């Protein structure tokens, strides 16, 4: 692709917002020529994938016109709990052109977690520090054809041609290679992409993906906790979260946080295989009836001979009862309570922050148990905009933590938007930028 195209549009379709980033290449360097963010149409996308490609396509077309996108070629990420699986597997070293193809067909067929069996898949051998080692790592991805078709339809309706469909962890790796080449010298760089409803914890060694792990929960949970504490609407709580809320400088994990190890199925098991069948949310199910979730995909996978079942609510538990619609509407309409003390607001969200730290600790412990050593944690995604979050994580885990800048080392030349616009959305652009950078690598 790099030899044929001079520019590529990177697209990242999230459940809360859609991000686009046009990248132009010249002489081995990259310049961002257009960047834009637009709210995802309500009900069009959720944590599991795209449901309304017509609405998403219209939103894409709108934001591309607003920010002056000119490229006809697009690279888009497929994401969603029911839309894609990404896994790194260790296999015996073999000829990549002969034996590996047959072996990976077996690996892929063995690991299909979807109810739909008509899938598209691909794999890539990761570079090895020791080419003479007995085994090698291979990253594989698979997605149901229905999910692929939905993504392709979004791009087509926006008037663009999808030249590649990628997965978020590999988009991040491309971004790191350009914006933070020093990370390639390190073992155990943990990139935490905090989205609206899902958080991805990805571990890289020398810029190679070694552990992708999505976990439920994201910035939306913090916003709703603030709305409850302040007795205000969600939009007002979001504004307060971004503009006024800050994690206290001396705060660390503790307090009344939820223990992710106390309830089976609330977080991913790192060792046990998954069991299928979501819990009955209308019954008080026994603990052993709750599903095991995969450490990589965050999805329930059917056992041999079982049948697949998914819950539509990634935060649902056996004893959770959804709030009545009239109560939700009443909360959204409530006035802002500016008199609520900031420490009371922090108390409302601390449990959510501690859950995030617990999931990070669990992933790091798992990685360390396999012989790795984490050198740093890097936060990106809209949820990373929470003031004081990186310092909170660093204090809690005693590991260096910083925010990621996907625009670092990239030129910027846009006729429609300025750096003030970029700075407003910088944390959310990592995947879109990584997709645009496809032009330098593939």
Are residues 21 and 38 in contact, defined by beta-carbon separation less than 8 angstroms? no
pLDDT means per 10 residues, the chain with 442 residues, are 76 95 88 96 90 96 96 92 87 85 89 86 83 87 93 96 93 94 92 94 93 92 95 95 93 55 36 33 33 44 39 35 39 45 87 95 94 95 96 96 96 92 95 94 74
What is the rounded distance in angstroms from the CA atom of residue 115 to the CA atom of residue 81?
12
**Whole-Å CA distances, 398 to 206, 253, 361, 375, 393:** 22, 11, 11, 11, 8
Copy the structure tokens of residue 426. Answer: 């910088």
Residue 38 host element (H or E): strand 29-39
Q: What is the pLDDT of residue 98?
A: 78
DSSP letter for 370, please: T
- Give the helix, strand, coil percentages of the chain, each rounded to 5: 35, 25, 40
Architecture of domain 182-403 in CATH?
2-Layer Sandwich (3.30)
Q: Do domains 7-85+143-180+406-441 and 182-403 have the same CATH topology?
A: yes
Copy the structure tokens of residue 215. Answer: 């976990």
Quick one: which of 177, 163, 153 has its CA closest to 9? 163
What is the rounded distance in angstroms from the CA atom of residue 385 to the CA atom of residue 241?
9
Cα 140 from chain centroid? 17
Domains of the chain, by residue range, sit at 7-85+143-180+406-441, 182-403
What is the rounded distance in angstroms from the CA atom of residue 195 to the CA atom of residue 317?
21
Domain 7-85+143-180+406-441 has CATH 3.40.50.10860: no
Q: What is the pLDDT of residue 129?
A: 65
Are residues 23 and 31 in contact, defined by beta-carbon separation less than 8 angstroms? yes
Quick one: which of 220, 307, 314 has its CA closest to 267? 314
Q: What is the pLDDT of residue 442?
A: 65
Cα 142 from chain centroid? 16
Q: What does pTM read for this prediction?
A: 0.78
Q: What is the pLDDT of residue 127?
A: 82
Helices and strands in the chain: count of H runs, count of E runs:
12, 16
């Amino acid at each position: 692709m790099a030899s044929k195209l001079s520019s590529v549009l990177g697209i990242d379709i999230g459940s809360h917002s859609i991000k686009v980033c046009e990248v132009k290449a010249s002489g081995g360097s990259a310049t961002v020529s257009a960047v834009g963010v637009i709210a995802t149409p309500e009900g069009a996308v959720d944590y599991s994938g795209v449901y309304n490609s017509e609405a998403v396509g219209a939103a894409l077309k709108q934001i591309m016109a607003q920010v002056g996108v000119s490229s006809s070629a697009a690279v888009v990420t497929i994401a969603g709990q029911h839309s894609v699986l990404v896994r790194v597997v260790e296999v015996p070293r073999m000829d990549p052109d002969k034996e590996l193809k047959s072996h990976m067909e077996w690996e892929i067929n063995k690991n299909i977690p979807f109810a739909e069996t008509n899938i598209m898949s691909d794999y890539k051998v990761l570079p090895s520090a020791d080419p003479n080692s007995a085994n090698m790592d291979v990253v594989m991805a698979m997605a149901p054809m229905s999910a692929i078709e939905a993504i392709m339809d979004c791009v087509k309706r926006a008037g663009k041609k999808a030249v590649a469909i990628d997965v978020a962890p590999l988009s991040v790796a491309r971004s790191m290679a350009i914006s933070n080449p020093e990370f390639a010298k390190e073992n155990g760089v943990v990139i935490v992409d905090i989205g609206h409803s899902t958080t991805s914890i990805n571990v890289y060694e020398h810029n190679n993906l070694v552990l992708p792990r999505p976990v439920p929960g994201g910035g939306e949970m913090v916003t709703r906790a603030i709305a409850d504490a302040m007795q205000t609407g969600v939009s007002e709580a979001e504004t307060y979260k971004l503009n006024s809320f800050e994690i206290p400088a001396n705060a660390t994990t503790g307090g009344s946080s939820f223990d992710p190890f106390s309830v089976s199925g609330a977080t991913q098991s790192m060792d046990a295989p998954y069991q299928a069948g979501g819990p009955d949310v209308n019954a008080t199910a026994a603990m052993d009836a709750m599903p095991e979730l995969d450490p990589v995909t965050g999805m329930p996978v059917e056992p041999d001979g079982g049948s697949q079942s998914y819950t539509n609510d990634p935060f649902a538990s056996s004893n959770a009862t959804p709030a009545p619609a009239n109560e939700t509407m009443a909360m959204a309409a409530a006035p802002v309570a500016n008199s609520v003390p900031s420490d009371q607001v922090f108390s409302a969200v601390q449990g959510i922050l501690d859950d995030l730290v617990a999931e990070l600790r669990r992933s790091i412990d798992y990685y360390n148990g396999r012989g790795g050593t984490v050198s740093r944690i890097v936060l990106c995604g809209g949820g990373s905009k929470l003031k004081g979050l990186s310092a909170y994580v660093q204090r809690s885990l005693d590991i260096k933590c910083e925010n990621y800048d996907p625009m670092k080392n990239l030129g910027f030349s846009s006729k429609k938007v300025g750096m003030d616009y970029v700075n407003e959305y910088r944390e959310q652009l990592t995947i879109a930028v990584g997709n645009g950078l496809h032009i330098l690598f593939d």
